Structure 1
Amino acid sequence: MSYYRKTIVPNIEAHYENLSAVEKNIADFFISNEEDMDFSSRHISSMLYVSEASLSRFAKKCGYKGYREFVFKYKESFGEKDHQITGQMREVFDSYQELLNKSYNLADEAQLRRIAGKMSECRRVFVYGKGSSSLAAREMQFRFMRLGLDMDAVDETHTMRFHSTIVQEDCMAIGISISGRTEEVIECLKQAHRQGAYTVLLTANDRPEYSEFCEEVVCLAAKKNLDFGNIISPQYPILVMTDILYGYYLEIDSSVKRARHDNSVMLIKSRQIQDKDEGGEEEQ
């Protein structure tokens, strides 16, 4: 039987962007606070230099009837530390927790830093994946491209074969296969290796033969039947390693990459506004 701590902090965070500056100050206190105390409106308003009316407005914006109900729910996390859950909900949470723990033990900091460094040196990066792995490859592409990296996610068989022939020595080829048996992905890595590219395989099943055509094998957390997605998304362990790799890549020339990221996000938002305006004009 598994236990999880109940807290309303995620709910506060979910409403954070809709709060005023004063209300965000209140939210910051409740998010960071870890001790039980006098949470009466009089005490908290005095401590945070806000009015009791502000506490009430804050609570209502977070979805509660008022500050009293908010405090009642908030104080629950200081009482019963562990909340028992059962059934399908327990199975999902336990599966994610198991994979997260395994990912922590499998993550090789030196290896991931090394790969991130090599990505910064490469002219272009190709990511190969089929099925659910292709979705993770697309996510990887979108994230790293915002930092200015020329990355292509390739999932169609004929396109994969074509791309593997144009990979050169100044490129990196990343293959994603939880089973380690996806034929198209393995063949692309072999071809890329023959052409001098830096090759990386993300898999839950490491095999000795991979060393023949892979510079790096990143081990992913595994769970029985994970690749079938019976309980949770098989992309999860892939995305965990991708996030770590993204963080290490961002550390290299971070100011430049952050500027590129902010610029790309601004361009996307401005384009969305432009498309919305054009759509409105057409409707008129």
Structure 2
Amino acid sequence: MSLYDNVLIKIREMRESLTPVERMVGDYILENTEEIPHLSIKELAQASKTSDASVLRFCKTLGYSGYRNFIVSISAALGSRDDEMKVQYTDIRPGDELSTIIANISLNNRKSIDDTLSVIDREEIAKAVDILRECKRIAFFGVGASGLICMDGEQKFSRINKICHAYRDGHSQLTAATLLEEDDVAIFISNSGATIEILDALEIAKKNKATCIAITKYHKSALAERADIVLSISTPELTIRSGAMGSRIAMLTVIDILFAGVASAEYDSVKKYLTMTHNIVTKKLKY
């Protein structure tokens, strides 16, 4: 089990995409977490008003090979629960002092990163880095706030001389996806995983045999199911007041990880580009 693995966060994030029976198991676990490590699979099935088979399916849906591995993860999550309870997401509230806002936003951003580390698949990251190293070009697809993440990705990978571009509106995304080829990588960014423009472009990219990477919330979604590689984030958007703050910082972190992974693996060949781009900007700032 990963140092950062937290099954309780996984259950929280996956809840809405679980089957009704799986949700019954998940809800019981979240409401009675302390007692779960002491229950057999049959006892948990009885307590959640489901069946042994349903509990086992629930465990496998969350990525565990069996009930024993699941219980080990529950115990580990409980071990760090006291610290977790001290750091809760806080929404924008009327009349907060500026010092409170500074503290809350900082805590929210840190917890977004920590929760993302609990669900992201390290093997998928490794696959993504390998593909990005070998690809001919990179196309970023995102709408609205996700489009801003695309721009960040374009800026970073351009610095190491990767051919890449960010596409942020539906028409340009369709055009770009149509021109993708087998040696290209398309990175689709969507918190919900259900953005229509993104799914339309994804369908075209897959037909053209481009490798499709998804950066999306950890749950079952059309984007996650259809992408070749899925990099999951975890961060609840509390209300319309806080907008896409949490998902933005989590997605930017994933982009940073991918960029650093590629740059580190190819450092001998890309350090000259990093130096050149740094020097030209620094020189410009002197005038």
AA of the residue aligned to 1:254: Y
Residue 224 (str. 1) matches residue 237 (str. 2): yes
Q: Which runs of 5+ in 1 are unaligned?
A: 1-84, 277-284
Is the 8 Å Cα contact of residues 103 and 240 (structure 1) preserved in structure 2? no
Is the 8 Å Cα contact of residues 142 and 198 (structure 2) preserved in structure 1? yes
Two-structure CA RMSD over aligned residues (Å): 2.5
Is the 8 Å Cα contact of residues 206 and 217 (structure 1) preserved in structure 2? no
Equivalent residue number for residue 171 of structure 1: 184
Instruction: Label 1:271 to 1:115 Cα distance change in 2 as closer, same or farther (>3 A).
Output: same
Deviation by residue 1:139-192 (Cα, 9 ceiling, x = unmatched): 111011101111110102211111110001110111000111111112111110
Mapped to 2, the partners of 1:251 and 1:227 lie a distance apart of 38
What aligned pairs does 1:47-66 form with structure 2 within 5 A after superposition? none
**Aligned residues: percent identity?**
17
What aligned pairs does 1:122-271 form with structure 2 within 5 A after superposition? 122-207=135-220, 209-210=222-223, 213-225=226-238, 229-230=242-243, 232=245, 234-271=247-284
Mapped to 1, the partners of 2:240 and 2:139 lie a distance apart of 22
Mapped to 1, the partners of 2:260 and 2:272 lie a distance apart of 15
AA of the residue aligned to 1:95: N
Please say which structure displays the higher CA radius of gyration.
1
SS of corresponding position for 1:91:
helix
Number of aligned positions between the proteins: 191
SS of corresponding position for 1:262:
helix
Pairwise CA distance, 1:231: 8.1
Is the 8 Å Cα contact of residues 126 and 153 (structure 1) preserved in structure 2? yes
Mapped to 2, the partners of 1:197 and 1:238 lie a distance apart of 22
AA of the residue aligned to 1:94: L
Mapped to 2, the partners of 1:227 and 1:169 lie a distance apart of 39
Equivalent residue number for residue 119 of structure 1: 132
**What is the TM-score with the length of structure 2 in the denominator?**
0.60
Mapped to 1, the partners of 2:161 and 2:185 lie a distance apart of 15
SS of corresponding position for 1:235:
helix
**What is the TM-score with the length of structure 1 in the denominator?**
0.61
SS of corresponding position for 2:277:
helix
Is the 8 Å Cα contact of residues 194 and 223 (structure 2) preserved in structure 1? no
Pairwise CA distance, 1:267: 2.8
Equivalent residue number for residue 116 of structure 2: 103
Pairwise CA distance, 1:226: 7.0
AA of the residue aligned to 2:117: Y
Instruction: Label 1:192 to 1:95 Cα distance change in 2 as closer, same or farther (>3 A).
Output: same
